[in-house]
């Protein structure tokens, strides 16, 4: 296996899933976003989004806070420092891989 | 994947402008400026009085309120219920609480102190004809705003800001060629910009509301 392929094999599997990488991409650009916004932007169902967020939370990449805005329940999602570092590192790895495998 | 990630991040930045509230907030500020300039134009000599200082402070305080608080309240009632809530961090990552409070208190305080010093000591500045200052030249000010709209349009990739820039440019050229100057010219410029921004904001909000009806069930998990 070449070094380029080996470097791809080493990417974070939690992030290396399209839906989760999109969730992290959105959260990396904001301080926090709620469940509704993430659902609309990712196009995922409530159940799927919930599962992906749980996985990201378990990995320590996202913090989830259940709160209220007036009487409306609000689930606020925020990228943790660990999540930001992991996402930055993932992007660097992908970029590196693309650069190395250019014709 | 890289393109998709960047596209998503761009969409997050655009989201703040999706409902037209920033346009209306800035339109409100322009309206306040129009009133202020119209008063100064109608009552020559007033600009040198203490009242003008109070009016200017009110404009700055009111402007800060309009640009900061009002769109946020509008968004809470209209946008967040329809398409979700987003809190922005200007540094791209959350600021610590004490930094946020220092900025919230420090920036307005320093601005007010500087403005107070400027107004209290304005008699010490060299005499200058009002018509020749950059601030009171409506044509040049309009061109400056044209540049600002182009920059905003480029940053948020919203074509309406290019249209606003084009209209502002035409108004500025008109003001330059008509020789309008002083407070009356500034009132015309800010009044026209206020109108454009209210129209732009209202149309954007109308389109947004039509496309995004209130969800019938709570989308929260």
| pLDDT above 90: residue B78 | no
Smallest Cα distance from B219 to chain A, Å: 6
A64 touches chain B (CB under 8 A): no
B88 touches chain A (CB under 8 A): yes
- Return mean pLDDT, chain A: 86
Cβ contacts (< 8 Å) between A37 and chain B: which residues? 15, 83-86
Cβ contacts (< 8 Å) between A84 and chain B: which residues? 93
Q: What is the pLDDT of residue B47?
A: 64
**What gap in Å lies between CA A84 and CA B4, rounded to an integer?**
18
Q: What is the pTM of this model?
A: 0.71
Contact check, Cβ <8 Å, A26/B12? yes
- Residue scoring higher pLDDT (B118 or B7): B7
**What gap in Å lies between CA B146 and CA B141, rounded to an integer?**
9
Q: What is the pLDDT of residue B38?
A: 86
> Considering CB atoms only, which of B1, B15, B221 is closest to A21?
B1
- Return mean pLDDT, chain B: 79
B218 touches chain A (CB under 8 A): yes
Cβ contacts (< 8 Å) between B13 and chain A: which residues? 29
> Which whole-number Å values give the CA distances from A77 to A12, B96, B169, in the listed order?
20, 17, 42
B217 touches chain A (CB under 8 A): no
CB pairs under 8 A between A and B: 100
Q: What is the mean pLDDT of residues B26-47?
A: 82
Comparing A4-13, A49-58, A93-102, B13-22, which segment has the lowest mean pLDDT? A4-13
Q: What is the mean pLDDT of residues B93-117?
A: 68
| pLDDT above 70: residue B96 | no
Most confident residue range from A17-21, B51-55, B100-104: A17-21
What residues contact residue A87 under an 8 Å CB cut-off, 6+ apart?
Answer: A15, A21, A24, A25, A28, A61, A79
Contact check, Cβ <8 Å, A36/B220? yes
ipTM of the complex: 0.77
Cβ contacts (< 8 Å) between B218 and chain A: which residues? 72-73
Q: What is the pLDDT of residue A72?
A: 72
pLDDT, tens digit (0-9, with 9 covering 90-100), for B176-208: 888 777 888 889 999 999 999 999 999 999 999
3-state SS, chain B, equals CHHHHHHHHHHHHHHCCCCCHHHHHHHHHHHHHHHHHHHHHHCCCHHHCHHHHHHHHHHHHHHHHHHHHHHHHHHHHHHHHHHCCEECCCCCCCCCHHHHHHHHHHHHHHHHHHHHHHHHCHHHCCCCCHHHCCCCCHHHHHHHHHHHHHHHHHHHCCHHHHHHHHHHHHHHHHHHHHCCCHHHHHHHHHHHHHHHHHHHHHHHHHHHHHHCCCCCCCCCC
Most confident residue range from A53-57, B19-23, B24-28, B213-217: A53-57
Q: What is the pLDDT of residue B130?
A: 47
Band (pLDDT 50/70/90 cuts) for residue B95 is low
B2 touches chain A (CB under 8 A): yes
Q: What is the pLDDT of residue B145?
A: 92
Cβ contacts (< 8 Å) between B92 and chain A: which residues? 28-29
- Residue scoring higher pLDDT (A99 or B79): B79
């Amino acid at each position: 296996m070449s070094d380029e392929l080996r470097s791809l094999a080493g990417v974070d599997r939690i992030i290396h899933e399209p839906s989760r990488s999109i969730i992290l991409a959105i959260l990396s650009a904001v301080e926090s976003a709620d469940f509704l916004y993430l659902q609309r932007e990712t196009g995922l169902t409530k159940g799927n989004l919930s599962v992906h967020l749980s996985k990201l939370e378990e990995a320590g990449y996202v913090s989830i806070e259940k709160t209220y805005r007036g009487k409306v329940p609000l689930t606020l999602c925020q990228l943790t420092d660990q999540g930001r570092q992991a996402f930055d590192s993932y992007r660097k790895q992908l970029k590196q891989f693309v650069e190395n495998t250019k014709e | 994947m890289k393109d998709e990630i960047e596209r998503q991040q761009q969409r997050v930045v655009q989201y703040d402008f999706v409902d037209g509230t920033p346009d209306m907030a800035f339109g409100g500020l322009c309206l306040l400026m129009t009133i202020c300039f119209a008063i100064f134009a109608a009552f020559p000599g007033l600009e040198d009085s203490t009242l003008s200082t109070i009016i200017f402070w009110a404009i700055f305080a009111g402007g800060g309120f309009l640009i900061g608080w009002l769109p946020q309240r509008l968004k809470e009632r209209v946008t967040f219920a329809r398409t979700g809530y987003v809190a922005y961090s200007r540094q791209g990552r959350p600021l610590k609480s004490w930094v946020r409070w220092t900025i919230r208190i420090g920036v307005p305080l320093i601005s007010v102190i500087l403005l107070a010093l400027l107004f209290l000591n304005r008699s010490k500045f060299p005499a200058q004809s009002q018509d020749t200052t950059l601030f009171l030249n409506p044509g040049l000010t309009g061109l400056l705003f044209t540049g600002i709209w182009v920059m905003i349009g480029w940053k948020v990739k919203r074509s309406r800001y290019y249209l606003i820039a084009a209209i502002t440019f035409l108004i500025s050229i008109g003001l330059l060629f008509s020789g309008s100057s002083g407070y009356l010219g500034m009132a015309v410029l800010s009044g026209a910009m206020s109108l454009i921004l209210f129209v732009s904001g209202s149309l954007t909000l109308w389109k947004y509301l039509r496309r995004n009806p209130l969800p019938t069930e709570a989308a929260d998990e």
